[in-house]
Amino acid sequence: MSQRHYFEDFEVGATDEYGQYAVTREEVIEFASRFDPQPFHLSEEAGQATHFGGLCASGWHTGAMAMRMIVDHMPAGGTGALGSPGLEELRWRKPVYPGDMLKMRSTVVDRRESRSRPELGLVVMENQVLNQHDEVVMSFRPTVMYRRRPA
Please state the pTM of the whole predicted model.
0.90
Residue range 102-107: mean pLDDT, rounded: 98
pLDDT at residue 77, as a whole number: 57
**Alpha-carbon gap, residue 67 to 19, rounded angstroms:** 10
Render pLDDT for 39-62 as a digit per residue (tens, 0 to 9).
999 999 999 999 999 999 999 999
| 98 closest CA partner among 45, 24, 38, 33 | 24
**Alpha-carbon gap, residue 144 to 4, rounded angstroms:** 12
Residue range 84-112: mean pLDDT, rounded: 97
CB 30 within 8 A of CB 65: no
Q: What is the DSSP string of the chain?
A: -----SGGG--TT-EEEEEEEE--HHHHHHHHHHH---HHHH-HHHHHTSTT-S----HHHHHHHHHHHHHHHSPTT--SB---SEEEEEEE-S---TT-EEEEEEEEEEEEE-SS-TTEEEEEEEEEEE-TTS-EEEEEEEEEEEEPPP-
Q: What is the mean pLDDT of the chain?
A: 93
Residue range 78-93: mean pLDDT, rounded: 88
**Ordered domains of the chain (ranges, CATH):** 7-147 (3.10.129.10)
